[in-house]
Structure 1
Amino acid sequence: MASSSSFLRLILLFSLLFVIKAAKTASQRHRFTSIFSFGDSLADTGNYVLTNKTSRLGSLPYGETYFHRPSGRASNGRLVVDFVAEALGIPLLPPYLGSKNKVLTKGVNFAVSGATAVDVSFFIKKGFMYKTNLTLGVQLQWFQQLLPSLCGSPSNCKEFFKKSLFLVGEIGGNDYNHPFSQKRSVEEIRSIIPKVVHAISSAVNTLIGYGAVTLFVPGNLPIGCSAYYLTLHSSSNKVDYDTSGCLTSFNEFSKYHNNLLQKELKRLQVLHPNVTIIYGDYYNAAIDLYYSPSKLGFSKGGLRACCGGGGSYNFNTSALCGNPGFTVCEDPSSYVSWDGIHLTEAAYKWIANFLLQHSLLISKVTIVSSNNVSNI
């Protein structure tokens, strides 16, 4: 048995290591001076609304809680990207399509609601539907077009991007949402996961080529807990659901995507040892919201939407939030789900805090997740 003095020295050692890590984390937290964001509706701060003036995202109750007006975000308030920006002391990112003649040295948001990681030509050939052709590839083109006005020469850009955080996603969810809405099977859509992961990987590689040195790449949320999936893919067989009422096969689908993505990011990290590639574990950050909502302050539960058109989960495709026939709850902060597809500001804040508290955005790591990549 160790002596009391040895035990005390051990305690002091761990305390010292904690202080060193905390100091390092604090210094790294403030090293970012700009953020560049890519993705879909989980990150879009207004690009889609600027291309579609009739979008329901452009009307109340979207934006009602924080902005007190529609802001183009698919929520009642702020998104994860907004909370990350606030934590890093950076202004909320303007949408790229609304940033003409604006100074963008603090960053800009290229994300578009409905965007896919894979080019739409692939979905057309497969007979899958899609919402917008402003894909991840198009967003990269916007970024490339911005470079001359942003930092001039390639050498200047590489110096500028040393202090920039690149958020690549969440992206990939719509590559699955669109075909799943056509009731395509889990097995069929599972076969395209490698192509989606490859598209995300290629985007990360492209950004590294332009000088990005810190990239944060989120995985997918547990879609089997979404009111959208629970309504469109409801089952009379109880074994299709877990103990919290989520669809097991769809959550397993999300985990498979996330595992492949982590494996690919690990490969890229080996190829680029001087770059920090961070996996954002959205799945495990969000799953407790569905499994223990009341304990986390979401008294109305995790599965039923705050804003919608009725039904078991308050999600109805004929009366979507913002369209005729919808109703909205009095207190969105007591709900996890905002409109059955997207989350409330309170839920996004929980996810952002989870990631920040685990130092996922401010520490140099290769892969951080509770999933075991080696078991793929």
Structure 2
Amino acid sequence: MAKSVSPFLSKLPMLITAFLLFTNAYGTLGCSYKSIISFGDSLADTGNSLHSGGGRIANLPYGETYFHKPTGRFSDGRLIIDFIAESLGLPLVPPYLGGGDFKQGVNFAVGGATALKASSFEEMGDINFGSTNSLDIQLGWFQKLMPSLCDSTSDCNEFFGKSLFLVGEIGGNDYNYPFFQGKSFEMIQALVPQVITTISSAITTLISHGAATLVVPGNLPIGCSVVYLQIFESQNKDDYDPQTGCLNWLNEFSQYHNSQLQKELDRLQTLYPDTTIVYADYYNASMLFYSSPDQYGFSGPTDKACCGRGFGSDQVCGSLGASVCSDPSSYVGWDGIHLTEAAYRWMAMGFLQGPYIVPRINVSCVPLSNKVSDYSLAQM
């Protein structure tokens, strides 16, 4: 991993400068996306969980950094989807369950959501789910909303053809629930083909309704996640990457999911050559700051969360008496499983400016002053 980080970091200032010159020179020329339509779990949820019950995310310090109040986002501030919306000159994407006007975007993502239906896990025994709003439920919401967005096949093709579809991240919770509840690795690994097939089916459904550009993120490196490091702590030093401190076997699992997802996206791209299907590499975009945290302004330990003592304790983030760090921007991990706004901002840079989105698409239609790029320049 170290070999791949240094060349990119050495070129990053030059890439940022070139990108700023391009966006300032061309402004909104080439800006083709008029709305964002999002599906997924807590990595993209902008408020659906809050509108369906809330729980601990209804409390500060969630939302404290940017919004200065809880908004239903599982972070201290903005998420990747927020930075993408800003780069397109669009309003932040509202949650479907919050109601309102969705002509410029709608978010169906719900914290805790799985790709698979709950019934798909029956053979694994009793599993406690944090959400029943799986991908098929979210697709149902989308189809229910469609008549208010467009009223004919040609109208829908035009509207959705100018929309950016974010399909995920989804699938992580399909593994989180059984991993956290002690199911065997073999049983969890056997879920991967089912998860990939479900995501693929959702993409096909969206294309049939007129979607022309779909961004599909892969899984994060769960071996670097604070909660996974807590649950699967090992006395064997060989289980850990000596550079990052991440658990190798769990990261290998994430890479397996991601490799299978990329193969399926390649297959779909061949089947639908007039559609742009994009893979967003969450894994490598985030591994950069686990490998070299100080180069990204992260002075806090990457194996600790800024807020709370982690899941499974009596002081999870958002609960009464839970501790919170004084500077969330110095931490990668926010509450044990989700990341801070600062981490999401760096990841968003990797998509807006490359190289962590394949193939490249134009997702920057306005100059990014006071948004992503000014932050990056300040941190160099």
Interval of TM-score (by shorter of Structure 1 and Structure 2)? 0.7 to 0.9
SS of the residue 2:84 aligns to? helix
| d(CA) in 2 for partners of 1:70, 1:282 | 25
1:126 equivalent in alignment to 2:127? no
After superposition, residues 106-125 of structure 1 pair within 5 angstroms as: 106-125=104-123
Equivalent in the alignment of 1:212: 211
Equivalent in the alignment of 1:250: 250
Equivalent in the alignment of 1:74: 74
Deviation at 1:187, TM superposition (A): 2.5
Runs of 4 or more consecutive aligned structure 1 residues displaced over 6 Å after TM superposition = 23-28
Equivalent in the alignment of 2:329: 333
| d(CA) in 2 for partners of 1:339, 1:122 | 28
SS of the residue 1:123 aligns to? helix
Q: Which has the higher contact order (CA 8 A, sep 6+)?
A: 2
- Which amino acid counterpart does residue 260 of structure 1 have in structure 2? Q
Equivalent in the alignment of 2:273: 273
SS of the residue 2:132 aligns to? coil
SS of the residue 2:36 aligns to? strand
TM-superposition CA deviations, 1:327-367 (whole Å, max 9, x none): 000000000000010000000000001111117388359xx
Equivalent in the alignment of 1:363: 360
Greater C-alpha radius of gyration: 1
Contact 2:279 2:359 in 1 (8 A): no
Q: Which ranges in structure 2 are unaligned for 5 or more consecutive residues?
A: 1-17, 363-380
SS of the residue 2:216 aligns to? strand
Equivalent in the alignment of 1:323: 319
Deviation at 1:70, TM superposition (A): 0.2
| d(CA) in 2 for partners of 1:339, 1:29 | 38
Aligned length: 340
Question: After the TM superposition, which of the residue ranges 322-331 and 83-92 deviates more from structure 2?
Answer: 322-331
Equivalent in the alignment of 2:139: 140
Aligned equivalent of 1:345, options 341, 348, 358? 341
SS of the residue 1:78 aligns to? coil
Equivalent in the alignment of 1:105: 103
Shift in CA distance, 49/356, structure 1 to aligned 2, threshold 3 Å: same
1:295 equivalent in alignment to 2:291? no
Contact 2:278 2:359 in 1 (8 A): no
- Which amino acid counterpart does residue 317 of structure 1 have in structure 2? S
Shift in CA distance, 272/317, structure 1 to aligned 2, threshold 3 Å: same
| d(CA) in 2 for partners of 1:28, 1:140 | 32
After superposition, residues 58-73 of structure 1 pair within 5 angstroms as: 58-73=58-73
TM-superposition CA deviations, 1:160-218 (whole Å, max 9, x none): 11110000000000000000011223222111101001111111110000000000000
Question: After the TM superposition, which of the residue ranges 147-156 and 165-174 deviates more from structure 2?
Answer: 147-156
| d(CA) in 2 for partners of 1:26, 1:278 | 23
| d(CA) in 1 for partners of 2:342, 2:301 | 13
| d(CA) in 1 for partners of 2:89, 2:301 | 32
Shift in CA distance, 29/71, structure 1 to aligned 2, threshold 3 Å: farther
- Which amino acid counterpart does residue 329 of structure 1 have in structure 2? C
Shift in CA distance, 352/364, structure 1 to aligned 2, threshold 3 Å: closer
Deviation at 1:302, TM superposition (A): 2.0
- Which amino acid counterpart does residue 228 of structure 2 have in structure 1? Y
TM-score by structure 2 length? 0.85
| d(CA) in 1 for partners of 2:30, 2:318 | 37
SS of the residue 2:316 aligns to? coil
CA RMSD of aligned residues (A): 2.1
TM-score by structure 1 length? 0.86
SS of the residue 1:328 aligns to? coil
Contact 1:301 1:335 in 2 (8 A): yes
Equivalent in the alignment of 2:378: none
Q: Percent identity?
A: 56
- Which amino acid counterpart does residue 177 of structure 1 have in structure 2? N
TM-superposition CA deviations, 1:5-34 (whole Å, max 9, x none): xxxxxxxxxxxxx99xx6999767611010
Shift in CA distance, 361/249, structure 1 to aligned 2, threshold 3 Å: closer
Contact 2:298 2:330 in 1 (8 A): yes
Deviation at 1:132, TM superposition (A): 1.1
SS of the residue 1:303 aligns to? coil
Contact 1:227 1:315 in 2 (8 A): no
| d(CA) in 1 for partners of 2:36, 2:160 | 9
TM-superposition CA deviations, 1:46-85 (whole Å, max 9, x none): 10121114x1011100000000000000000000000000
Shift in CA distance, 332/163, structure 1 to aligned 2, threshold 3 Å: same
| d(CA) in 1 for partners of 2:284, 2:291 | 11
| d(CA) in 1 for partners of 2:38, 2:115 | 14
Contact 1:308 1:316 in 2 (8 A): no
- Which amino acid counterpart does residue 335 of structure 1 have in structure 2? Y
Contact 1:219 1:261 in 2 (8 A): yes
Shift in CA distance, 66/116, structure 1 to aligned 2, threshold 3 Å: same
| d(CA) in 1 for partners of 2:30, 2:237 | 46
